[in-house]
Amino acid sequence: MTKDTEKDINLAEFKEEVLAAYPKKVAKKRGKAIVYNDPDEIPQIQANVRTIPGIITQRGCTYAGCKGVVLGPTRDIVNITHGPIGCGFYSWLTRRNQTRPDEQAPENFIPYAFSTDMQDSNIVFGGEEKLKQAIREAYELFHPKAIAIFSTCPVGLIGDDVHRVARHMTEELEGKVNIFGFSCEGYRGVSQSAGHHIANNGLYKNLIGNDDSVDGKYKFRINVLGEYNIGGDAFAIETLMDKCGIELVATMSGNSTKKQFETAHTADLSLVMCHRSINYVAEMLETSFGIPWMKANFIGAEATAKTLRKVGKYFGDQELIDRIEKVIAEEMIPVKEAQEKALEKTKGKLAMLFVGGSRAHHYQELFNELGMTTISAGYEFGHRDDYEGRSVIPSIQIDADSRNIEQITVKEDATRFKPRKTEEELKALEKEGLEFNGYEGMMAEMKKGTLVIDDLSHYEMGKLIEMYHPDIFCAGIKEKFCVQKMGIPLKQLHNYDYGGPYAAFEGAINFYKDIEQIACCSIWKEMKAPWEKEDIVEAEYVY
């Protein structure tokens, strides 16, 4: 896209019109969060600041990020929400995290919503005793391997100490179950991003490194971090790794178990999918145990092939490299067939993506493969480094909200720190094109002139659609029906609308088929919102 195109003119008009509707102070703040992309000179964007009161955005709370995102997909840990039942229900199965218990570990607690169901009396007199009783009941009924406790807003306001309760109950149950808590009250951070950080800290302190056993049938051992098995994505990645002869030690945290968390430090490489939600764990594993990490992407066929080749190059084993190339060649045959079929209808269409994690970035790969252009994108809880790349981290100022999150000290493990690669080996691999501890961010891969918006509001969303008429809009449930009433199909990328998997080669084929059906369906052009179909009487009154 160039400045001479009509699309760029429309984008400029969009920002001007949107900001004109806001009060001056609000407009000044929002203007910093709406930028025109230039991959050659990445612009600075305002991100990870509190949403302006009164503006409806896509964001969730800190509790949602901790319990709902990071710990929710694990199947053999009982996750107890300490708070009103609404909080527990909100975070229960809404992201369609799937799991697949096996004979060795048949436990599956994901279908249960565990909550203390705090009432008015608990708010007045305290809820710690009720929490203790909930833990007793959970242990008597299920005998889980671990119990995690998650604080909600009322808990922080009245002063219940979930960490003290965890210690007391561990003593009472004689250490038969690992019990730990998270201070993840919904108001604690700017968005669910704070909950991710809190969850990462808790995983490191309470689970990671607790089990030194090395299991599996392959010698090449990796972790996949920031993959949550929505619609079965982790299943597709697990199958792909098995075909390539790679041992998947831990997925954090799709289709995960307590043992996976505890043995993650035995892997030799970490691949980071969702940078925002899990980069802290990746760095902790490297600092404590010497495991390097690389940014990866299994969303899109070409991206998946690129990631597999990076893994092969990292391990440097020719037999593994040959096996990976064979798998890629086999998998790309049906992918190309499905892609060519879909391209006939999808090429040239426009997409907008406003979703969390790295999805607003990664799914652009799939749209590129469909010949579609992403003209506008943004995160709901991203930080500047998610947009601009990790090189800007030293320039990001720590604000009061960030100080609400516990900062833990991570050191080399005294007995188990073992660098998987020497400094010389890492530098040699970097010369061959591998990048460690790095992420260029979303903007580097978006076209010049595209519009990047952080923390999109419903008003801004409506204006984008009204002025730009994309062929498909990707967001979440809060936006879904508003967008569809405007005659634009919406694809949820938080839970896939009962679709998926969309990861790996298998997922790419599924995505091609679904987008072809959604974005090319003519019925959306016939859609009229109720206020467009019905006669409306308007009047002005003078008093």
- Write out the catalytic residue numbers: 61, 64, 95, 196
User: Rounded CA gap, 493 and 352, in Å?
Assistant: 12
247 in helix, strand or coil? strand
SS (H, E, C) 492-535: ECCCHHHCCCCCHHHHHHHHHHHHHHHHCCHHHHHCCCHHHHCC
251 in helix, strand or coil? strand
User: Rounded CA gap, 32 and 419, in Å?
Assistant: 41
Residue linked to tokens 């302006």: 52
Estimate the crossing angle of helix 504-519 against helix 359-369, to 10 degrees: 80
Give yes or no for a contact between 267 and 249, defined as CB atoms under 8 angstroms apart.
yes
Contacts of 126 (CB under 8 A, 6+ apart): 158, 159, 160
User: Rounded CA gap, 274 and 503, in Å?
Assistant: 13
Estimate the crossing angle of helix 6-20 against helix 458-468, to 10 degrees: 150
Contacts of 59 (CB under 8 A, 6+ apart): 51, 191, 192, 380, 381, 455
User: What is the token pair recorded at 278?
Assistant: 């899990």
Give yes or no for a contact between 179 and 49, defined as CB atoms under 8 angstroms apart.
no
DSSP lists the bridge partners of residue 230 as: 97
User: What is the token pair recorded at 354?
Assistant: 């406003």
Integer CA distances (angstroms), 479 to 376, 449, 460, 494, in order: 16, 25, 12, 12
CB atoms within 10 A of CB 408: 12
Estimate the crossing angle of helix 233-244 against helix 318-346, to 10 degrees: 140
CA atoms within 13 A on the CB side of 143: 2
CB atoms within 10 A of CB 214: 11
Give yes or no for a contact between 160 and 126, defined as CB atoms under 8 angstroms apart.
yes
User: Rounded CA gap, 249 and 222, in Å?
Assistant: 6
Q: Is the dihedral of CA 195, 198, 203, 204 positive or negative?
A: positive
